[in-house]
Structure 1
């Protein structure tokens, strides 16, 4: 560990956490949250929250809490959140790294709570973060980045002392799913094109689980390729694996030109080009999922004829 981090951590032990920059204090304290790394006790209502996990910042915002620091997983820039969370920050957070954590930068924000509920589940990272502040990791028995939007809301809400608000967020999104069209009996696959390569998302990934929640059945032979991961590579020789009643594909880090031009891509594939929709579909947050339901489901219906 760098000497600078040791100094920063030592300073935190002497500093009084809770000075400005966070939202109003939640209404409860002394809660214990169960995670894959064991129970985490939060003695006082957190006021300086750092959100490192995928969509943790959006989840905190949905519950009325503004993180002072956050990881920008989908490279939004600005305040680090999608348009579905526009206006929820009064003051932009300090944007932090994603897969590589700058522990000194995290410590410098003097957090009294760190959210890392959807991550790579690295125990060493968790141990280091826990020396800075109580850290909420993923729930038990989920694959890396496999925390569902529901689990994330429940974990974050309990840690923030916002349980009733969390229940309301869950109920609202459940109602939105229930009000949408169901596609029972239809098969689906969701894939991506990146750097000239194809892949597909499987159960445990928010994109795949989104389709399942709408009644779609994921291709079993694609699911069988998974080995503790949310994504599987698909060779160009096996692009037939991307064929289903509904094939949803989108490019990552570029436009859809090459994807559209590839003759091996399923002819009736729905290729998503709207960057906001792709990001909402990929966010896995309650806010992003609600946006995706409004904008993606009509496209699914049209694609199915």
Structure 2
């Protein structure tokens, strides 16, 4: 089986390389510049540093497959439409949230997430694969590299799925020859955060707990893109959660520990459950800050998935929609 697997990968790689070779330019052709983006093929080759080593991209990618969490919408934000993409948040359609609707002129082939069909990827004849926010498993990387095209994986030093929005933007921007555009998007989002914080000075120094409620129980996001979002607005983590967070992305909270969630503001992300479940939970409702009404139930799925996207476009949407809710709940 192992031998046949290797032969299949080799065949896929060969098919892709032949397709790419068919549309490459010769060294004697004139370098062109896209006036709408300011991108020039003179920027290439570029080398991108990842957890799996340096990846060199010889020329401007034309057929991008975006497999990592929010890689597709990051490419879209930079003006590039992937031919294939993974729909991690189950948006369906073109795999994008409302904040990225209308950015495709031709919808991509929707591919798998945890398990990717390599035959489907190969059939798209990609010349670049983006996988900057994913499991980071070597087996996945090896399968993708077996297709014979550059694969830009997660950055060095990051755990599974914890690539930050800035790291993702940097990696994708460089791979696509869009570093200037990526920097402009980063500057714009940082300004939006700064403006939101300045418009809400009451946020400064207030404590926040970011609560996840699933069918099985409670948790709190403590070292995550959500945490960074709140910090940029001026909030600090709930003190009791800060004591136990360590380097974890999130921590589980038992029914007996719910008072650890007490903070000036509670933000509740509901995953597979409903607001009514929380309203019926007497222990949760007894948390002092919850009892005082200092909480936001993120019932609007477009807002909660904007946070979950942890992309430049999704976070922009979250600022617009969630900050007014925080201002009301946190009070003065």
Same fold (TM over 0.5): yes
User: Which of the numbers 3, 8, 30 marks the counterpart of 2:12?
Assistant: 8
Distance 1:152 1:214 in 2: 21
Q: Which runs of 5+ in 2 are unaligned?
A: 24-33
User: Which of the numbers 301, 314, 317 marks the counterpart of 1:291?
Assistant: 317
The structural deviation recorded for 1:299 is 0.6
1:234 pairs with 2:253? yes
Contact in 1 for aligned 2:65/2:121 (Cα 8 Å):
yes
The structural deviation recorded for 1:278 is 0.8
2:297 alignment partner in structure 1? 271
Contact in 2 for aligned 1:51/1:115 (Cα 8 Å):
yes
Q: Which runs of 5+ in 1 are unaligned?
A: none
Q: Secondary structure of 1:232's match? A: strand
User: Which of the numbers 110, 114, 123 marks the counterpart of 1:108?
Assistant: 123
How many residues align? The count is 300
Q: Secondary structure of 1:66's match? A: coil
What pairs with 1:58-97 in structure 2 (closer than 5 Å)? 58-97=73-112
Contact in 2 for aligned 1:145/1:230 (Cα 8 Å):
no
User: Which of the numbers 22, 27, 49 marks the counterpart of 2:64?
Assistant: 49
User: Which of the numbers 185, 198, 201 marks the counterpart of 2:205?
Assistant: 185
The structural deviation recorded for 1:256 is 2.3
The structure richer in helix per residue is 2
- CA RMSD in angstroms comes to 2.0
2:237 alignment partner in structure 1? 218
Distance 1:241 1:180 in 2: 27
Please say which structure displays the higher CA radius of gyration: 2
Classify 1:176/1:299 alpha carbon distance in 2 versus 1 (closer, same or farther; 3 Å).
same
1:282 pairs with 2:301? no
1:119 pairs with 2:134? yes
Which of 263-272 and 155-164 deviates more?
Answer: 263-272
Classify 1:225/1:131 alpha carbon distance in 2 versus 1 (closer, same or farther; 3 Å).
farther
Which of 281-290 and 92-101 deviates more?
Answer: 92-101
Classify 1:256/1:129 alpha carbon distance in 2 versus 1 (closer, same or farther; 3 Å).
same
User: Which of the numbers 83, 98, 111 marks the counterpart of 2:113?
Assistant: 98
Q: Secondary structure of 1:9's match? A: helix
The structural deviation recorded for 1:233 is 1.9
1:252 alignment partner in structure 2? 271
Distance 1:206 1:254 in 2: 22
Classify 1:294/1:246 alpha carbon distance in 2 versus 1 (closer, same or farther; 3 Å).
same
Q: Secondary structure of 1:195's match? A: coil
Contact in 2 for aligned 1:4/1:104 (Cα 8 Å):
no
Which of 235-244 and 5-14 deviates more?
Answer: 5-14
Classify 1:282/1:222 alpha carbon distance in 2 versus 1 (closer, same or farther; 3 Å).
same
2:156 alignment partner in structure 1? 140
Q: Secondary structure of 1:164's match? A: helix
TM-score, scaled to structure 2: 0.84
Classify 1:254/1:76 alpha carbon distance in 2 versus 1 (closer, same or farther; 3 Å).
farther
The structural deviation recorded for 1:290 is 0.5
